[in-house]
Amino acid sequence: MSEAPLILLAAGGTGGHLFPAEALGSALMDRGLRAQLVTDERALRYSGLFSKETLHVVPSATVRGRSPLSLARTGLTLAAGTAVALNLIRRLRPAAVIGFGGYPTLPPLFAASLLRIPTVIHDSNAVLGRANRLLSSRVNAIATSLPGVLDRDPALAAKTTVTGTPLRPAILAAAAVPFGAPEPNGPLRLLVVGGSQGARVMSDIVPGAIEKLEPALWPRLVLTQQVRDEDVSRVRAVYDRLKIHAELAPFFTDLPARLASNHLVISRSGATTVAELGAIGRPSILVPLPGALDQDQFANAGVLADAGGALRIPQPEFTPDRLAAEISALAAEPSRLEEMAANARGIGRLDAAQRLADLVVRVAGI
C-alpha cells in the first residue's frame, strides 16, 4: 500500500505560529493524512504533536535592520534556507505546503512555489503579517482568522477563505466551561497575562491600579498574574500590603483552564490570545503592544472591542487610574461582564481546524 498523502506545515518557532500548526496537523491526521513540520531552531524545544523524525529545521532570518549589510545577511540566510527547503521538499514530496507566518515560512513556501507544489498561508492577525504579505501573491490560497483582512485587495480577497484560528485541544476543552458572572459580594477572579513582550507593563501598572480600587473590593479579588522573575518581589510587596489573594508566576502551563476560570482577563492582544478569548468567551481589557510596524495587536483588539467583548486601551492611556476605573465599573455591573463574555464568544470559531483542513484538502486535490 502506498503511504497516505503528506502535508508539510511551515511555522515560525513561537507558540502563536506553532499552536495553530499543531491543531491543523491533528485535524489532518484524524482524516488519515500525514503531517510534518518545518520551522526554525527555536522550535527544537517544542514538545507537542511533532516528533524529532517529523520536525525539520530550515535556516531562516528575520529582517531586523535596514542597513545594506543587515539586509544582505538576511537575504543570504533566506537563500540558503530556500536551497535546503528545495532538497527537503523534493525528498518528502508533500501534497501541499501550508505556512502559518513568520520569516521561517519563507524558504519552504518559496521552494514549494518553485516546485509547483500547492500552497496555502494562514494568518491569525487582523492585519496580514510581513512574511505572509511577501508570499500572498505566490500561494494558491489564503486563510484568515478574521473577516475583512484583505477586502482592500480584490486579487487576494478572491483566493481568501475565513477559517478562524485552529485551536489547541486544551482551548477547546476550556471553551466547554460556561461563563458564570460574579456574585454581587462574591469573589471577582482577575487574570493578568502579558506574554514575553508585555509582562513588564502589567507589573508596572496593575498593582497601582489595584491599590486605587475601593478598599471594600480588595477582599473580593482573586488575582492571578504573569510576572517576570525580576518583577515578582515588587509586585508581591504591593499585594501583600493590601492583603490581596494573589498567585504570581512567570509562566502558567495551564493557561487555557485559567482563562476559563476567571471573570476578567487583562492582556496584550496577540492573535492567538484574541482567538482564544473568543473561543472560550471571556471579557477582557486588552492593551495592544505599541510600536509594531503593522499595528496588528491594535487591530486584533479592535475586533473584540467592536463586538462588545473587550475594552481596548492603548498603552499611553493604560494608567493605574484608568485601569482602576474600568475594573471598578465592571465589578459593579456583573451583567455587563456576562454580556461581554457572550459577545466575545460570538466571534469564536471552534471548528477552525476543520475549516482549514477542508481548504487544505481542496487545494491539495486529495
Distance CA 135, CA 108 (A): 11
Distance CA 102, CA 18 (A): 10
Mean pLDDT for 23-42 is 92
Is 70 exceeded by the pLDDT of residue 102?
Answer: yes
Q: What percent of the chain has pLDDT over 70?
A: 93
Angle at the Cα of 247 from the Cα atoms of 242 and 251, rounded to 5 degrees? 140
Give the rounded distance of the alpha carbon of 48 from its chain centre: 16
pLDDT of the residue at 237: 98
Note the pTM of the prediction, 2 decimals: 0.87
Mean pLDDT for 270-281 is 93
Least confident of 174-178, 198-202, 316-320: 198-202
Mean pLDDT for 165-171 is 92
pLDDT of the residue at 94: 98
Mean pLDDT of the chain: 91
pLDDT of the residue at 1: 47
Pairing of strands 284-286, 310-312: parallel
Mean pLDDT for 23-51 is 85
- Residue 270 has a CB neighbour count (10 Å cut-off) of 25
Cell output for 13: 518557532
Per DSSP, which regions of 69-187 are E strands? 96-99, 119-123, 141-144, 160-162
pLDDT of the residue at 71: 62
Q: Give start-end residues of each CATH 3.40.50.2000 domain in the chain.
A: 6-167+350-364, 172-346
Q: Amino acid letter at 249? A: A
Distance CA 285, CA 262 (A): 13
Class of domain 6-167+350-364: alpha beta
pLDDT of the residue at 76: 78
Distance CA 276, CA 191 (A): 14
Residue of 38, 101, 138 whose CA lies nearest to 271: 101
pLDDT of the residue at 53: 87
Mean pLDDT for 56-67 is 71
Task: Note the pLDDT tens digit of each residue in 125-140.
Answer: 999 988 999 999 999 9
Report the range out of 95-104, 287-296, 334-343 with the highest average pLDDT.
Answer: 334-343
**Could you say which of 3.30.70.2610, 3.40.50.2000, 3.30.1180.10, 3.90.1150.10 is the CATH number of the domain covering 172-346?**
3.40.50.2000
Mean pLDDT for 329-338 is 97
